Structure 1
Amino acid sequence: MVRITDVARRAGVSPSTVSYALSGKRPISAATRRRVEAAVRELGYRPPGRARPVAGGRTNVLALVLPPAADVTAPAVMERVASVVTAARAHGQDVLLATRAEGPDGLRQAADAALADALIVTDVRAHDPRLPLLRTLGRPCVLIGLPAEPDGLTCVDVDAEAAGALCVDHLAGLGHRAVALVGPPPRGPARRVARGFAGAAARAGLACAAHSCATAPDAVRRTAGRLLRARPAPTGVAVHGGPLLEPLVGAFEEFGLRVPGDVSVVALGPDPLTGPAGRPPVTSVTVPSAALGARAVELLMRRLAGEPVPGVTLLPPRLTRGASTAPPRA
C-alpha cells in the first residue's frame, strides 16, 4: 500500500506538505503542488477513506456536487439539476445530489460517502480550494466552471469572451458607436466577458468603457450617473448579472432616460432574463443552464467509457432579441 510518506519522498517534501497540498487547508506554491500531484498520480496514492464502495464494480450513480449556498429552488439551478438527471437517465445512470458540505472536506465526503462512479462539480472558481483534491480523486470528474489552471481537469463552461463580444456585435449592428459594460469586478468569468467586450469594441472602432458596480441602489445610481456624464455617453449598455439589471434600468429612468429610446440595454446571464417586473423581455446573451448540465454528463460518460475528452469545453452563447435594444437616435 502506498503511504503519504512515499508520496512525500517522491515529491521531495514533508508529509504535512502533501497533506496541505491535497486538502487545500494551507497555501502551497504552484510548483510544489504540481510535484505532489505528479507523485500522487505516479504512485497511485489514495488517501485513507477513498476506497471504492463497490470493489471492482460500477454503481451506475453520478454525484452532482452543488455549492452549499446554492438556492436549489432558483430556476437556473433547478434547470441544471433537471438537465443532469435527464441526461444521466438516458445513459442508465442515477444521480445523487450533494449540497451540504463545503470546500475540500465537503468534496471528499461526497467522493467517499456517495456510492458514485463519477462526479459533476458545479460552481468551480478560478482559484477554487477544491482543485488539488479534484486532481487526485481517482475517479472521473467533470467541472462546471473554468479554473485559472485547468491542466489535468475536464471542464465545461460558458464561452464568456464570446458572450462579451456578442453584446458589442449586436449593439454595433444597430448603429451604436459608444458602448459600456456594467458588471462585477473583473475576476474569473467577468474578466473574460470584459476582455471579449473590449476586443469586439476595438475591432468595430467603438468608444468603450467598463464599470464595476455593486448591487446596492446607491452604487447603481452612481454608476448610472457616471455613464451619463461620460463623453461620449454610451447609447448601448451591456449589464453582466441579473441582480444589476432592474436597478440599473430604474436608475436610467430616474435620470429621465427611456429604454430603448435613449439607451439600449443587453443583459448577460445564465438564462434569458425578463427584466423588471411588468416589462417586456430584455435582449439577452446567454448559455442556458440546461446546456451546461447536459454537456457535463456527456463528457463524464465518455470518460467512464475510457474515451478521450477535451480538457476544456466552452459552450457558445446565443443572443435572444428582446424589447430593450434599438438603433440609437439620429
Structure 2
Amino acid sequence: RDIAVIGEAPAVYERHTGFAERTLDGLRARARQRGVRVLHRPCEGGYDAMAVTLARILDERPGTSGFVVQNESAVEPLLALLRQQGRAVPEDVSVIAICPDQVAVQASVRLTSVAIPAQEMGRHAVEHLMAKLAGRGDDEVVLIAPELTVRASTGPAPAAP
C-alpha cells in the first residue's frame, strides 16, 4: 500500500546518475500499475542520516509497510532502527535491498534483494571499451535485467488497522 524508497545520497540524483534514475522510474511505474503509493527519500547512509530519513518517512506516511533500499550503507542502520521502534521484519514491515548478494545474506535479517551483477557489468564495460579502442562500437547502453531473490525480509502486508 505504502512503500518508501530509501535512495542514494542526494548528489547521485543531482548528477542524474542513470542507474539511480532508472531504478526510481521503474519502481514508480510498477507501483502505479499496482495501485501502491511510493515515497522516495535520498539518504546519505549511515546511522544518523538513516534515523533522520526514517523519521521523516514515518512522519509523512505512518502506514509505510515496505522499504526498498538502494543505498547499501543504509541497510543495517534501517534494520536496527526498525528493531528499536518495535517493528518486526517481515511481520510488520518488509525490506528489499538493491545490493550485492553478499550484503543481503550477511545482514542481520537475510534480505530479499535485487542483486547488483558487478561481474557482468564489468564484462560489458570492458567489452565496450575494447570495441571503442579498436574503432568499433557505439554509445549503446546495455541494460541488465534485474533478478529478485526472495529471502527472510519480506512477507504479506500487515492487516489494515
Give me the TM-score of the superposition, normalised by structure 2: 0.80
Identify if the C-alpha distance between structure 1 residues 236 and 306 changes in structure 2 by more than 3 Å, giving closer, same or farther. same
Matches within 5 A, 1:303-318: 303=132, 308-309=137-138, 311-318=140-147
Corresponding residue of 2:150: 321
Tell me the amino acid that sits aligned with residue 183 of structure 1. Answer: G
Q: Give secondary structure in 1 for the equivalent of 2:91.
A: coil
Q: Does residue 228 in structure 1 map to residue 58 in structure 2?
A: yes
Note if contact 1:246-1:276 (Cα within 8 Å) is conserved in structure 2.
no
Corresponding residue of 2:97: 267
**2:36, 2:5 → 1: CA distance?**
13
What per-residue deviation string (whole Å, max 9, x for no partner) do you get for residues 296-323 of structure 1? 2333455566655562212222112111
Identify if the C-alpha distance between structure 1 residues 205 and 298 changes in structure 2 by more than 3 Å, giving closer, same or farther. same
Note if contact 2:58-2:64 (Cα within 8 Å) is conserved in structure 1.
yes
Q: CA deviation at 1:285?
A: 1.1
Identify if the C-alpha distance between structure 1 residues 278 and 285 changes in structure 2 by more than 3 Å, giving closer, same or farther. closer
**2:94, 2:4 → 1: CA distance?**
10
Identify if the C-alpha distance between structure 1 residues 217 and 305 changes in structure 2 by more than 3 Å, giving closer, same or farther. closer
Q: CA deviation at 1:280?
A: 4.3
Note if contact 1:273-1:282 (Cα within 8 Å) is conserved in structure 2.
no
Q: Give secondary structure in 2 for the equivalent of 1:312.
A: coil
Compute the RMSD of aligned alpha carbons. Answer: 2.4
**Percent of aligned pairs with the same amino acid:** 35
Tell me the amino acid that sits aligned with residue 252 of structure 1. Answer: L
Matches within 5 A, 1:1-330: 177-184=1-8, 185=10, 186=13, 187-188=16-17, 189-231=19-61, 233-269=63-99, 271-275=100-104, 279-303=108-132, 308-309=137-138, 311-330=140-159
Tell me the amino acid that sits aligned with residue 50 of structure 2. Answer: V
Identify if the C-alpha distance between structure 1 residues 297 and 235 changes in structure 2 by more than 3 Å, giving closer, same or farther. same
Q: CA deviation at 1:286?
A: 2.2
Corresponding residue of 1:95: none
**2:76, 2:59 → 1: CA distance?**
21
Tell me the amino acid that sits aligned with residue 316 of structure 1. Answer: A
Alignment gaps of 5+ in structure 1: 1-176
Q: CA deviation at 1:245?
A: 0.3
Q: CA deviation at 1:203?
A: 2.0
Equivalent residue pairs, number: 153
**1:202, 1:291 → 2: CA distance?**
30
Give me the TM-score of the superposition, normalised by structure 1: 0.42
Q: Which has the larger radius of gyration?
A: 1
Runs of 4+ in 1 over 4 A off after TM superposition: 275-278, 300-310
Alignment gaps of 5+ in structure 2: none
